[in-house]
Chain A
Amino acid sequence: MTRRLFATLTVAAIALAGAQFAPAAAHAADAGPGYDYRGDPHSHLGGYLDPDGSVSYCIDAGKSSPLGGPTSDEGLVDHVNDLGASGMRKLAYVLLRHGNTRDADTAAAVALVVWGLADPADHAARGGDGFVITRAPAEHRATILELAARFRDEAERYRTPEPAAGELSLTVERDRSHAMLGVSVSPASATGTVELSNAVFADTGLASREGVADGDQLEIDVQHPAGAAAYAVRAEGSFEAVGHTDGTVHLYRTPGAQTTVSAGTRVPMAFDAAAAVQIEAPKTVVLPRVAG
């Protein structure tokens, strides 16, 4: 490799890395899901569409709409306004759990919750939910407020979950031809795929099964490998639960206008679990032949 080529590649690598991690170039914020007061997009209750398709929400109650302005992508942040750790966790949770929506009612409810969390004083000073809700059609207001109340309740009760984990258990019946697979996973919402070795699920005849969940008790037919005196029946599962937030949000700034935030990083909750049991093949009974 020539020195010039090496230098060229190095520059290209640095440029790529820069594109990856540096704030993106300014863009114009687009109107997202929600409602405009009397058709005015600058009096919007809802979210704004980011270049990556995610939906961001205003954290500065009372400021001008970011629509049309040059908006810059500030990347992931773990602190906005004067929010402490608890407030940030709630904000990040609501955005991650409900923010990326195309439903106008949901987006309007998230906007109310975000204002209330990130800029509570200004939000309250401007009449709070009761005032801003008037931007939505009257027939949608009750629904939006109910959703907002639910999201607030969820955020209040949200705690960072324990690491996801689970156990599989195999119980072989006395005849050595049948077994029971037990599933115990946490969080209980986790589901996964289980692959069997030397066995199939009794109801499908297949060695693989999707949608396996906590508390399942699944019957298994053992398949004795020909010629094997002893062998293992194995169950190997890959499970995944809805990920949780790491407390970050994605920040967008528009000079002179509202700052908006969208969902931050989702921490995956995936884990594997396995079980195995050693089985001795049933002995073939050779019946003695009598003299006759």
Chain B
Amino acid sequence: MRAVVALVLSAALVTPAPPLPGRGVGPVHQGVAVHDGVAVATPSADELARLPEARYDAVIPGLDIDPPKRFTGGPTMILTLDHDVALYPTAKDHAVARLAARNFLGHPTVVLAYPPRRDGWQLVLTPARRQLPSAGPGAIAQSYGWIRADTVPTQAEARYRVEISVPRGRLSITGPGGPRAFPADVGGRRTPTPTGVVGYLQARYLDPAQGQSSHRIQLTSLHATAADEPYGGDDGGLIGLHFGSGSSHGCVRLGVDAIAALDDLPLGTPVRIVGAGDGE
């Protein structure tokens, strides 16, 4: 009987997710940007609107899954959008997605990015996935895309860092005012919290439907890598930092003090999760 259950679970895990909006949208070309001295197509407003939105529950194969190795500096720039922005893959030959001006709460979208390069391109962390874990090896917790830096004039240096040590069960905040640390519970053995990755705080909200009526869920840009939806649903295996305790499905469970401290951080603040192999 146990073997049958295991088989059923396995089948469920590898079943491809239903198609998401934006899948199958081809590259668009209009306007001009420059990459390595070569003109790069940029989408018109209409074409931009038709691109898939890189939101928290999207899967966009054209996005990058890892920053270039030579791009060694960390993501430190917090970008606040006031209009939709095209996202390009490393090749930058066509736009593959867009960051919407407003997020699911109707607030201006905030993302984290690396500092702009001299050629005007800037690598940003996106809220979307590039690949589902069920699609095979290669799914990681954070996706990336390139934007033209001059399309997002509102950029600020991140002043705080959040780091979560899975082995130590600890969340640390560094920045003005000195470091602070709080106990943190992380994912269990079957649904581990992804490690070795940097994301950012993308939104915070109360949701009584998730048992969070008093302490706001701190939604990160990170996604589970052990399963498409470790806790069911179809929201993208989102990694949240929220009130609670005990082994989780990948989220980071925290006490009241930690949530209050996170509440004070700007959206876009980098969130790094480290595991045993990350110098811990």
Q: Which residues of A contact B (CB under 8 A)?
A: 283, 285-292
The 5 closest A-B pairs by CB, nearest first: A290-B240, A291-B250, A292-B231, A292-B249, A291-B249
Interface check B66, CB cutoff 8 A: no
Contact status A289-B104, CB under 8 Å: no
How many angstroms between the C-alpha atoms of A287 and B231 in the bound complex?
Answer: 15
Contact status A286-B217, CB under 8 Å: no
Interface pairs (28), CB distance under 8 Å: A283-B106, A285-B104, A285-B106, A286-B104, A287-B207, A287-B210, A288-B56, A288-B104, A288-B203, A289-B209, A289-B210, A289-B233, A289-B238, A290-B210, A290-B219, A290-B231, A290-B239, A290-B242, A290-B251, A291-B229, A291-B230, A291-B238, A291-B239, A291-B249, A292-B230, A292-B240, A292-B248, A292-B251
Q: B190 → chain A, closest Cβ, in Å?
A: 12
Interface check B59, CB cutoff 8 A: no
Please, which residues of chain A bring their CB within 8 A of the CB of B249? 291-292
Count B interface residues, CB 8 Å. 30
How many angstroms between the C-alpha atoms of A283 and B103 in the bound complex?
Answer: 12
Q: A4 → chain B, closest Cβ, in Å?
A: 76
Contact status A288-B209, CB under 8 Å: no
A287-B209 contact given A292-B248, A292-B249, CB 8 Å threshold: yes
Q: B21 → chain A, closest Cβ, in Å?
A: 14
Please, which residues of chain A bring their CB within 8 A of the CB of B242? 290
Q: A70 → chain B, closest Cβ, in Å?
A: 83
Q: A285-B106, A292-B251 are in contact. List 9 more A-B contacts (CB 8 A).
A: A288-B56, A289-B209, A289-B235, A290-B217, A290-B231, A290-B235, A291-B187, A291-B229, A291-B231
Look across to chain A and name the residue whose beta carbon is closest to the beta carbon of B220. Answer: A290
How many angstroms between the C-alpha atoms of A288 and B250 in the bound complex?
Answer: 15
Contacting A291 at CB < 8 Å: which of B207, B209, B240?
B240
Please, which residues of chain A bring their CB within 8 A of the CB of B230? 291-292
Look across to chain A and name the residue whose beta carbon is closest to the beta carbon of B218. Answer: A290
Please, which residues of chain B bring their CB within 8 A of the CB of A292? 210, 230-231, 240, 248-251
Please, which residues of chain B bring their CB within 8 A of the CB of A291? 187, 191, 224, 229-231, 237-240, 248-251
Look across to chain B and name the residue whose beta carbon is closest to the beta carbon of A288. Answer: B235
Q: B220 → chain A, closest Cβ, in Å?
A: 9
Q: A163 → chain B, closest Cβ, in Å?
A: 46
Please, which residues of chain B bring their CB within 8 A of the CB of A289? 207, 209-210, 231, 233, 235, 238
Please, which residues of chain B bring their CB within 8 A of the CB of A285? 104-106
Q: A168 → chain B, closest Cβ, in Å?
A: 30
